[in-house]
Homo-oligomer: A and B are copies of this chain.
Amino acid sequence: MGNSFGKLFTVTSFGESHGRCVGVTIDGCPAGLPITEAEIQREVDKRRPGTGVAATRRAEADKVEILAGVFNGFTTGAPIGLLIWNQDVASSDYERIRFLPRPGHADFTAFMKYGGFNDYRGGGRFSGRITAGFVMAGAIARKLLGLSEIEVLAHTIEIGGIKAKPMSLDEIRSNAGTNPLRCADPTAAEEMARLIEQVKSESDSVGGLIEGMALNVPAGLGEPVFDTLDGELAKALFAIPAVKGVEFGSGFRVGQQRGSENNDPFTVKNGKIVAVTNNAGGVLGGISTGMPVVVRVAVKPTPSIARTQATVNMESMADASLAVKGRHDVCIVPRAVAVVEAMLAVTLCDFALRAGVIPRIIK
């Protein structure tokens, strides 16, 4: 239960970190969209651990396979099946700590929820690896959104307290992809890299913030009062393991603000009604304003750290300790950037279909 997202563009996730595969089905994709495994692969590769300091050493080929729903290079209107076979899986690392829940991980909650039947290897169903499936679905969604010139992008804006300077949209577009930190401010990116190196040497990990944006979203997407654009985006983003907060526009700063400064005045520009400022982050009343959708996401430090931590033995119910071995990212923020983009794309695609902005057959 709970492994599907989206009303008209429905992504169903399956697979485990150390099982046979991770995959998704996508039900509701319009017919006639040209798509290839290579295009989806390109998105998945963005999420792949780099050679950089932030990254796990697990070397995954992560080769995308289309199982169903695409014929002669076009989507057919049938469910799309996408799969990545797991490789290079070192499960034996995990047998040892089966009953020792790693602090900050879902080991304990999964054990409680599923009575110990959960696949505990590498976090099983709760691993960040599951998000490779999200990114595959996001690749399809982005292509669909592109038909309406809707663009999603995300970038790292803070790691371990080091904040990126505010950058222009052009700078974000051109810089965020060029460094392994996915940070548009090159100076901050260097500092972040140094911090990560240091944190690694301390057998620790570090968290950060990601900003996501959706551009050219037409006014009118979103469904009041419960299936709001911001509410569904938030739900989608909380599906990314390690996300602890989501805010739009001025976000938590509104707690210090006056209405006169937070309200975005309207004006007419090129015959179109636009907001002069964007404190709303592109959403009013759960519906897009036509301004960029701007969302910030708080990503906690990787819970897997090599330091010794206090835990319990769930079998013997005795206090215990563990140091998490294995290959882990010191900071998952850079890899999560691609996942934030994917979740933005998937959610917007669903709303674009609800609004009829994307047609049922692509011609």
Copies in the complex: 4
**Given A68-B15, A204-B258, A209-B255, A104-B299 contact (CB < 8 Å):** no
Q: Which of A45-53, A140-148, A172-180, A278-286 contacts B (4 or more CB under 8 A)?
A: A278-286
**Given A115-B31, A266-B108, A356-B359, A14-B79 contact (CB < 8 Å):** yes
Chain B residue nearest in CB terms to A208: B255
**Given A14-B69, A27-B3, A254-B81 contact (CB < 8 Å):** no
Q: Are A124 and B4 in contact (CB under 8 A)?
A: no
Q: In the bound complex, how far is the Cα of B104 from the Cα of A317, in angstroms?
A: 53
Q: Is A231 an interface residue (CB 8 A)?
A: yes
Chain B residue nearest in CB terms to A260: B204
Which 6 residue pairs across A and B have the least CB separation, nearest first?
A: A106-B285, A2-B223, A2-B227, A245-B247, A231-B238, A205-B259
Question: Of B3, B301, B361, which is within 8 A of A226 by CB?
Answer: B3
Q: Is A341 an interface residue (CB 8 A)?
A: no
Chain B residue nearest in CB terms to A258: B204
Contacting residues of chain A (239-260) with chain B, CB-CB under 8 angstroms: 239, 241, 244-260
Q: How far is the CB of A324 from chain B (nearest CB, A)?
A: 10
Q: Are A4 and B12 in contact (CB under 8 A)?
A: yes
Q: Are B8 and A1 in contact (CB under 8 A)?
A: yes
Instruction: Provide the residues of chain B in CB contact with A78, threshold 8 Å.
Output: 3, 14, 16, 118-119, 124-125, 224
Q: Is A154 an interface residue (CB 8 A)?
A: no
Q: Are A244 and B234 in contact (CB under 8 A)?
A: no
Q: Are B285 and A117 in contact (CB under 8 A)?
A: no
Q: In the bound complex, how far is the Cα of B159 from the Cα of A231, in angstroms?
A: 23
Q: Are A354 and B1 in contact (CB under 8 A)?
A: yes
Chain B residue nearest in CB terms to A361: B115
Q: Is A19 an interface residue (CB 8 A)?
A: yes
A3-B226, A246-B247, A356-B356 known; 15 other A-B pairs, CB under 8 Å? A14-B69, A14-B79, A67-B83, A76-B124, A108-B266, A109-B222, A158-B256, A204-B258, A244-B249, A245-B248, A252-B296, A259-B304, A266-B312, A267-B310, A267-B319
- Interface mask (A129-172 → B, CB under 8 Å = 1, otherwise 0): 01000000000000000000000000000111100000000000
Q: Are A112 and B21 in contact (CB under 8 A)?
A: no
Q: Are A259 and B21 in contact (CB under 8 A)?
A: no
Instruction: Provide the residues of chain B in CB contact with A202, threshold 8 Å.
Output: 258
Q: Could you list some 14 contacts between A and B, CB below 8 A?
A: A1-B354, A8-B354, A77-B113, A77-B117, A104-B280, A109-B220, A109-B284, A158-B256, A226-B236, A265-B310, A267-B310, A271-B317, A273-B314, A276-B310
